[in-house]
Structure formats: C-alpha cells, structure tokens
Structure 1
Amino acid sequence: MSTQSTRLVAALMGALVLGSTMGACGAEDPNQVAAPAAAKELKGKPHAEVEDQLERAGFTNVETEVREDLVTGWLTKDGEVEHVTIAGQDDYAKGKKYAPDAKVVVVYHTFPKTDEETAQSSTPAPQATAADEASSTGEESEGTITAKNNPELAKLLELKDPAAPEVAAFAEKYKGQRIEFDGAILALNPHGSYKTRFDFLVGAGDFDPNASKGPNFQFDDVNAFDLNIAGSEDSSSLEVGQNLHVIAEVGEYKEFQELFILEPVETRLR
C-alpha cells in the first residue's frame, strides 16, 4: 500500500473514532425528565396546577415557597406563581432535560394570615348532627344527595362503624352520583413519593380528635387544585383537623381497606 493510501486510511479511521466519541458524549441520559413548559409559561398560573404539572412530568423533588405579600389580589391572584426554578435555573426552555430529583422550587403569592384566621384554625368547632351538616351554606346543590333529602345518607354519616354493611350498600347503589356533607380531615399523607399530591382521609361532621363517625371517606391522589377549593387555591390550610364542606361523586368502596373513595367536585373550608 502506498504512503498516500496509508495516510488516507488513517485519516478515515481517526474521523470514525472521533465521531463515535462525540456521539457517546452527546447521548442523552434516558432517565432524565423534561421541563413541561418554559419558565415564562409557568409564571402567573395557579401554584397547585404547576406543582401537579411538574410532578406528572417526572420531577420528584418539588418544593414550594410562599410569599404572603398580597394586599388586594387585583393584579396578582391568590396562589399565583411568581417563578419556578429547576436545579437553580429560572430561564429554561420547554423540554430541557434534568435529573428527576433536581430541586424544583415553586414560588407563589398569597395573603398574609390574619390573627382571626389563626385563632379559628386552632379553635374546635361545636359539634353538629348530620342533618345540620347537610349544607354549611344553607343551600343544596341541585340533584345532589344530602342528609336532608336522603335518609340513607343521614344514617351513613352517623355510623359508628366505618365498615358497617350500610357503607358498601350505599356505595354500590349510588356510585357515580353526587353527595354533599360536612366533614373534616382525619389524616393527610403524601401519595407515594409525591410531595404535593396527597391521600386525604375524611370523616363526617366536625373534627374530633377523640372520635369519628361515618365511613372512612378518601380523596385518593389529589392536590388542592383537584379538590377545587371554592374561593381559594391555597393548600396551606389543608391539614389534619380542618373542617370541610364536601361535594363529591360516589366512587368504589374498598372493603379490605375499609375506604370509601370519593371523586372531589367542590370543597369549601369551614
């Protein structure tokens, strides 16, 4: 082989090696996740919606930072996102890849808590009967089952045994229909590895740390946005002991776990 041919072959082999090396260096990590939107697209959205969007994209380390700086809420809405940082970056494009556990911080605005609100959250509400609790507002949603218009629901909300046969019978008979009642958060746990999606255990009536009544109602894998909290999207009030007014669709009854699944329609804080 001539010297010129030898040099040509060597050059081609070198190019192939270099191309292979560059390709390996530029290969994407298949375990990375993509930003679901550009940073500027997330600004101004409800924080719960943004948190849900990020977690569904695969981010596992989503945190929130609350700025209690609203005065009127005219220009900036309660719960509105100021900015979102991913791995310390606040100017990223949609689709930019990050490690799933990259730190994500959602910064949003809300109103400062008043002294009255703080006092109310720590003061137990007086006990009431199921009939009284049928509607906190004195109004019933049209076509919705309440303790006032349905004796079966009234009885259900007063049960002492959450696994009583009436629970499974009610769930089967009224599956897919809406019910409305006053309840309280009995337990609140993260759903799986999520930090902003939860499983809510809800009892009937006002919160009582020493006793509960009615079935073990559960909102499964939800956040504040899913709960459709009337007049607010601030999830900071959602804690064990919070009294609620619930409008929800009847789901399945999980007999082994003694859980009565509800699909939230509207939730009001009481």
Structure 2
Amino acid sequence: MGLSVLGGFTEGTEQVKIVQTPEHSNLQAGRIYQDVVKDFKDHGFTNVKTKAIDDLILGWITKDGEVKSVSVDGNLGYLTDDSYPADVEVIVTYHTFPIEDENTEEENQLETIHTSENIEEENQLETIYTAENCEDLNHLLKHDDISIAEDFAHKYHNEIIQFEGNIAHMMNHDTYTTRFDFLIYENIHQMVPFKFNDCSYYDLKLVGDYIPDNVHQGQNYIITAKVVEYNPISGLFFLDPVSLEYVEKTL
C-alpha cells in the first residue's frame, strides 16, 4: 500500500518535513560550492551532494570550486523559497582542475618547455614583418585608415607580423568560460584595433623567460600573429596568434 502526503504528514505517524530553497538557481552560479552547500543545509535540506567537473584550465578567470549549477530534486530552474521535502536530492555542480599525478605534472612542464622552444624555433624559420623591416606595417600601425588596413590585409594575408601591444579588452566568446575574444592595440600609436577571436589560454602560445599564470586586460606582450582579414564594417583587424611574449610594464 502506498503512502500519500496529507498536510505535511503521511497516513502513518511519520512526518514529512517541508523546507524552502535559498536564493534561486541563477544566483548560485559563480559562488564557491562550500558556501552553497552550507546555505542549503542551513535551510534544512538533509541530502546535499556535490559534483566536480574537472574542466578548468590554468590561467582563466573561473575559480577553482566555482559553482556551475544547482539542482533540487532534478530541477535546475528552482526559484527562491520553493518548497520541497527536506530529504530531496540537492546536487551542487562546480568547476575544478583535473587531478594529475606527479609524473603527469612533470610531463606537462616538459611539454610546455618544449612547445615554447618549438614555437620560437619555427618563428625564426619564417619571415616576420615588423615596423622596422616592413614599411607597409609601419604605415598601418601609424594610421587609422580603412583603405590602408584593407590593402595591408589583402597583400599580407597569412603572413606573420610582430609588434609590441597591449590587451585592451577581453571577453567570453559566446557562452564559453574558457574561450575568449581579445582586443589588442599596438603600444605606441594605438590606432588599429586588432582582434584575436575565440582563443583559449593555450591558443595564445605564450613564450619567453616568464610565462604568466593568467592572461588579462592591461598586460603587454610582443605579439607575433598571422594576418587573417580586416572588417571595414566593425573596423577590426583579425589576427591568429603565433606567439605572445610577456613584457613587463615600465613607468
């Protein structure tokens, strides 16, 4: 014989405790998971579980332990003060870094070193245009002119250019948390808005003696990149990163 709930009690003597949810699901995303677990327990929920997703990549803004989603009795879209039995399953899903053993970490460190060396060696083998050896690039960097940018993009399509620039702005690419769009300006003249589109930390191919743990707005780099195209409507000059070498800011 099944049991039916009558005003918070079963037909037997067992009471079904009803509790209310804390802030709704959208407000939980981005918090640290231990705080969310505590909130639910403080509200009387007795079956709170956690689920780790090892999708973090070193260098990006999502924090270790940051909540991705919370479900209550399978519902990802619950609202504030929704009523549930206290023993329903609550799952707090959060981001974290993959677990690696010592051997794997050593292999990754060696791979990073070798990759950096390989990129620098490859760059030495290819023609790299700079403001010093290419009059066209020197002209491009000094002028915010659509015709100059269009001519350069056409003439040097798939060629490699290099200049010292700064990350003026970065934002998530679509809804991704580990892929970004970067707006870059050349440091001296700051005329042409260059753009890296849909790049992860590793797509930037950081090289040099010092490789920062994270990439963020305001940093300076020697930027080596392949010419993709110029969009006269947006005014953006698209590049594909070949390598970025960190440059310490000086006053």
Alpha-carbon RMSD: 3.7
Aligned to 1:105: 96
Aligned to 1:125: none
AA in 2 matched with 1:153: L
Aligned to 2:238: 261
Note if 1:239 corresponds to 2:178: no
Report how far residue 196 of structure 1 moved: 1.6
Cα distance change, pair 226–205 in 1 and its aligned pair in 2 (3 A):
same
Judge conservation of contact 2:166–2:187 (CA < 8 Å) in 1: yes
Stretches of structure 1 lacking an aligned partner (at least 5 in a row): 1-38, 52-61, 67-84, 89-100, 110-139, 207-211
Cα distance change, pair 157–221 in 1 and its aligned pair in 2 (3 A):
same
Query: For residues 56-114 of structure 1, what are the alpha-carbon distances to aligned partners after superposition, in whole Å with 9 as ceiling and x for unaligned?
Result: xxxxxx93439xxxxxxxxxxxxxxxxxx9989xxxxxxxxxxxx943222699xxxxx
Q: 1:1-270 residue pairs with structure 2 within 5 A?
A: 47-48=57-58, 63-65=62-64, 102-106=93-97, 141=124, 142-159=126-143, 161=144, 163-205=145-187, 213-231=190-208, 234-236=212-214, 238-270=215-247
Judge conservation of contact 1:64–1:106 (CA < 8 Å) in 2: no
C-alpha separation in 2, matches of 1:144 and 1:150? 9
Aligned to 2:4: none
Query: For residues 25-82 of structure 1, what are the alpha-carbon distances to aligned partners after superposition, in whole Å with 9 as ceiling and x for unaligned?
Result: xxxxxxxxxxxxxx9xx89xx9359x8xxxxxxxxxx93439xxxxxxxxxxxxxxxx
C-alpha separation in 2, matches of 1:108 and 1:182? 36
1:252 counterpart SS class: strand
Report how far residue 224 of structure 1 moved: 1.5
Cα distance change, pair 235–201 in 1 and its aligned pair in 2 (3 A):
farther
Work out the percentage of aligned pairs sharing the same amino acid: 29
Cα distance change, pair 224–239 in 1 and its aligned pair in 2 (3 A):
same
Cα distance change, pair 215–108 in 1 and its aligned pair in 2 (3 A):
farther
Stretches of structure 2 lacking an aligned partner (at least 5 in a row): 1-51, 71-91, 101-122
Between the two proteins, the alignment pairs up a number of residues equal to 151
- TM-score for the superposition, normalised by structure 1: 0.48
Aligned to 1:31: none
C-alpha separation in 1, matches of 2:220 and 2:176? 24
C-alpha separation in 2, matches of 1:108 and 1:256? 45
Moved more, 166-175 or 212-221: 212-221
Cα distance change, pair 86–198 in 1 and its aligned pair in 2 (3 A):
closer
Cα distance change, pair 191–86 in 1 and its aligned pair in 2 (3 A):
closer
Report how far residue 221 of structure 1 moved: 0.5
1:103 counterpart SS class: strand
